[in-house]
Amino acid sequence: MKNGSDKTNIKTALTIATAALLGTNNLAQATSTSIASVEENSWEFDSAFLFYSEVDRVSASEAIFNANKTFENEEVLNLKLTIDALTGASANGAVAQPTIQTFTRPSGNGQYEIAPGDTPLDDTFHDTRVQFNGQWTQPVASNLIASGGIHISKEYDYLSLGLNGNLAVDFDRKNSTFSAGFSYFQDTFTPEGGIPKPFASMLIGDSSDPDWDDEFAKTRIGSEDDKSTADILLGFTQVINRRMLMQFNYSYSVVDGYLTDPFKILSVVDHNGVAQDYVYESRPDSRIKQSIYTQSLYHFDTTVLDVSYRYMWDDWEITSHTIDSRYRVPLGDDFGTESYLQPHFRFYQQSAADFYRPFLLDSDPLPAFASADYRIGEMTAITVGFKYGMLVNNGNELAFRLEYYHQTPTDAGFEEPGVLKDVEIYPTIDAIIAQVTYSF
């Protein structure tokens, strides 16, 4: 996927998807019209383009093209193509220092320097991903619906293959639904530079030295590794009354295999907080996650409130709370077309994994596992934003979404020695999420 032709293919696909989305009077409409004449308009399409950008860090562009066809006997075929491209800088896990720091790139080819006081970011982070999903859903008996699907995702250094299946049974005049589903993913990771040896010291020096490659290879244990993810999801949906609907889910997820991030390191500091070494992180090779999820929809006279809550816990001792809410307000046709405004608010809070360490002390014995990845540290995050949607061209919908994401990693009780007191150990992350969706 890194060669020229593949890059061109991805760019072409991205261009087509974007054109389908933005060129509503041209390509998308042409597609819609030609499909309509052949299939009597039984296909429905959604196309979306999302831009995600963090201040000074990662930017991502993601395009989705989704097609739905409903057949005569209520069978539904869903096909979805997702293409995304990531670029920018990502925290490598080391802590800021009052002096310049030098790190070796994950590939082993070359080094980068971080200015005093700055959070170490590796700016070579870039990837392009193509994902395909197919799902078939059909009634198999009275009040019983079955569904099955496949998932393929490929990026330069990662391959993910997945399967899922689901059964849903309706009862009490279809006011209640029980569902049970499973999914299984098999992922293979082939990171550039190979799989680092857990807690091996990052080799820093002259990468043009004749011995460099041999020395670098000593910090590696292989070229690829894999992991599997098996999920079980049980759900119950209940119509409360004419205005209200509720859902309750329980999920159990077992992840086995390589769960370490090969690009993440930890600073090993002395009693003054001065970095003496950088070591590659190490995580357990299994994780069991469970969650409960509840969602409620309420239709007021004209507006709709959608609120959900999730509690997640796992055997890494991470727990999290997520509250997500949307409030849809129809604006009538005040702007010349029927439209709505939908404010969105999300709150997220998690505790740290039991092996999370912002840094290691050289006076302490090495723990069994350690990671300084802020994503498994203690944090709070909020998302605020809105979506504006309008009906155009005979019921097709055009919608815009703009959101702001603010993540605040917090100190889970680690005492900072010496110079670490004067640098930012838990930098916040700010991101803008902008999206355009066109459904036809």
Q: Which of residues 50-89 bind another protein (CB under 8 A)?
A: 50, 52, 62, 64, 66, 80, 82, 84, 86
Report the nearest approach of another protein to the CB of residue 425 (Å): 18
Would you say 160 and 187 are in contact if contact means Cβ atoms under 8 Å apart? yes
State both tokens at 407: 């993540």
Cβ nearer to another protein, comparing 185 with 212: 185
Q: How far is CA 320 from CA 106, 139, 193, in A?
A: 31, 36, 33
Among 74, 172, 354, 424, indicate the residue that binds another protein (CB under 8 A).
172
Q: By rule CB under 8 A, what string of x and - marks binding of each residue 95-134 to another protein?
A: --------------------------------x-x-x---
Element (H, E) at 8: helix 4-22
Cβ nearer to another protein, comparing 11 with 406: 406
Report d(CA 8, CA 396) in Å as an integer: 31
Report the nearest approach of another protein to the CB of residue 100 (Å): 28
Among 283, 350, 358, 370, indicate the residue that binds another protein (CB under 8 A).
350
Binding of another protein by 255 (CB under 8 A) = yes
Among 97, 164, 267, 282, indicate the residue that binds another protein (CB under 8 A).
164
Query: Following DSSP, what letter does each residue of 156-189 receive, concatenated?
Result: TTEEEEEEEEEEEEEETTTTEEEEEEEEEEEEEE
Q: Which of 139, 132, 134, 136 is nearest to 147 (CA)?
A: 136
Phi, psi values for residue 83, rounded to 5°: -130, 130
Among 61, 124, 247, 396, indicate the residue that binds another protein (CB under 8 A).
247
Map the footprint of another protein across residues 290-319, applying CB under 8 A. 290-295, 297, 299, 304, 306, 308, 310-313, 318
Would you say 253 and 211 are in contact if contact means Cβ atoms under 8 Å apart? no
Among 212, 347, 348, 426, indicate the residue that binds another protein (CB under 8 A).
348
Map the footprint of another protein across residues 368-427, applying CB under 8 A. 375-376, 379, 381, 387, 401, 405, 407
Non-local (6+) Cβ contacts of 421 within 8 A are 273
Report the nearest approach of another protein to the CB of residue 276 (Å): 29
Report the nearest approach of another protein to the CB of residue 172 (Å): 5
Element (H, E) at 391: strand 379-392
